[in-house]
Amino acid sequence: MKSGTSRRTERARLRGGRRGSRVRAVGAIVGTLAALSVGLAPSATADEQSKQWYLKPMQAEQMWKVSTGKGVKVAVIDTGVNPDTPSLRGQVLADEVPKSVAYHATHDFAGHGTTMAELIAGTGAGGGIKGLAPGAKIVPYRIDIKGLKGAEAKKSPESWQAIRAAADTDAKIISMSYGGVPDPTEEEAVKYAASKGKLLIAAVGNDGRGKGQVDFPAGFPYVIGVSSMDASGNVSKFSSHGSWVDLTAPGEGFPGWCDATFRSYCDNQNGTSAAAAIASASAALIWSAHPDWTVNQVTRALLDTAGRSWARNNPSSYLGYGAVRPKNVLKNPHYDPGPPDVDPLAEENGGGDLLAKAGASPAPSASASAPASASASSQAPENGTSGGTSAAGSNARSSNDSSTLWIALGAAAAVVVIGGGGFAVMRARRAR
């Protein structure tokens, strides 16, 4: 990113340059957990929680004494959700999906959306995946991002329809672990959801080994883009990077459903999809503990308490404002979330008018009419590689203080080296 190039200007450039290549979403999910795996878990009843390495450093057990996400609904826009896995029984509110939009078609034929739902709100029953916010509830929206055929494809709404439908419900968070090229109809849906006070969170994509380009909807204003990190606090090699990365979260090296049979988890699943789900669960924990906060205040809390060593006003192209650390909000009864009607990302969002209004009046409204035509974002393939750091020094490791999670190593995080050439990690902000 060139110095002085604003986030909004760069987004506009990409939209103009790639709009003509927009196609219907029938490819692989950009944020998908890797199709490749290192062996299968013995069965769905094995203790998968022991493989969820991030639960301990994030101090999940301590957080759950304060908040479990109870009372917060998360709209998961993905391949659908299987509500009958042991970990999701009683956690999925499929009946709350508007009939006029989604036809109640929420069956998951891929396993991806079910994994995301479990990472957010799984109870861990039967030894399955334990969600970071096990008290939250999931409202599933199935969109056609895995090449559904025939009647099932017709039953699946476009992404913009799902976003608008979710915006008109009482779900507080919209979690989107998919991506592709920019679609103006989807962008309008995002703006609509933001005006309703929804917190929109999306995977930035898995093009780290390519051009690193961040995908959409993560690249739209009013969407929190999340990159992936490993157990050492290093940004994942597959994780996309750029001016639209707002936060990072664990995204590799743990189990997930890898097909529609739901007989067994696959190990070593990787992708920014999982990172977005964990960030969504982090927001649910905070919002549950502070139900009177607005989307602006929850967003500010996520950004303020993220693990980093660089200046807050100079976020990293790889790690954004840092690693999600909801415990730092939950453990501090005196934390000040700031004004309810001021968007903490107003500069990046072009003034923040939508979120400011949402902060003043966050209650959902009656259904609004949607545009007559739309097309979902196209999908890029999942990278599926594991581990490591995409660039030397791009990390957010923890310090000796066990209450902090993945703090970056000071000056070492200021420069990365790729292929022998150096460039600044810290991204330029909006030029004023």
Lowest mean pLDDT among 28-32, 153-157, 170-174, 394-398: 28-32
β partners of residue 323: 248, 307
pLDDT tens track for 201-242: 999 999 999 999 999 999 999 999 999 999 999 999 999 999
- How large is the average pLDDT for residues 366-379? 28
Average pLDDT over residues 138-142: 96
CATH homologous superfamily for the domain 7-424: Peptidase S8/S53 domain (3.40.50.200)
> Is 78 in the active site?
yes
pLDDT digits (tens, 9 = 90+) for 94-104: 999 877 664 55
How many CA atoms within 13 Å lie on the side-chain side of 154? 2
Residue 353 bears catalytic tag: no
Asked if 112 is an active-site residue, the reply is yes
Task: Name the most confidently modeled range: 306-310, 367-371, 411-415.
Answer: 306-310
Instruction: Give the gyration radius of the chain's Cα atoms.
Output: 19
Q: Is the pLDDT of residue 134 over 80?
A: yes
**Looking at per-residue confidence, does 167 or 364 come out higher?**
167
Q: 39-90 pLDDT, tens per residue?
A: 333 334 458 999 999 999 999 999 999 999 999 999 999 999 999 999 999 9
**Annotated catalytic residue within 37, 78, 183, 394:** 78
C-beta neighbour count of 289 within 10 angstroms: 21
Residues 6+ apart with CB under 8 A from 237: 208, 209, 383, 385, 387, 388, 389, 390
Task: Indicate the domain borders of the chain.
Answer: 7-424
How much of the chain, in percent, has pLDDT values that exceed 90? 60
User: Model confidence over 250-262: pLDDT tens digits?
Assistant: 999 999 998 889 9
**Stretch among 121-135, 186-200, 338-352 having the lowest mean pLDDT:** 338-352
Q: State pLDDT tens for residues 310-325.
A: 888 899 999 999 999 9
At residue 293 the predicted structure's pLDDT band, cuts being 50, 70 and 90, is very high
Which residue among 6, 67, 87, 112 is the active-site one? 112
Measured distance between the N- and C-terminal CA atoms of the chain, rounded to whole angstroms: 17
What pLDDT, on a 0 to 100 scale, did the predictor assign at position 352? 54
* Catalytic residue (one of 87, 156, 236, 273): 273
Residue 357 has a pLDDT of 54
Please name the amino acid found at residue 365.
S
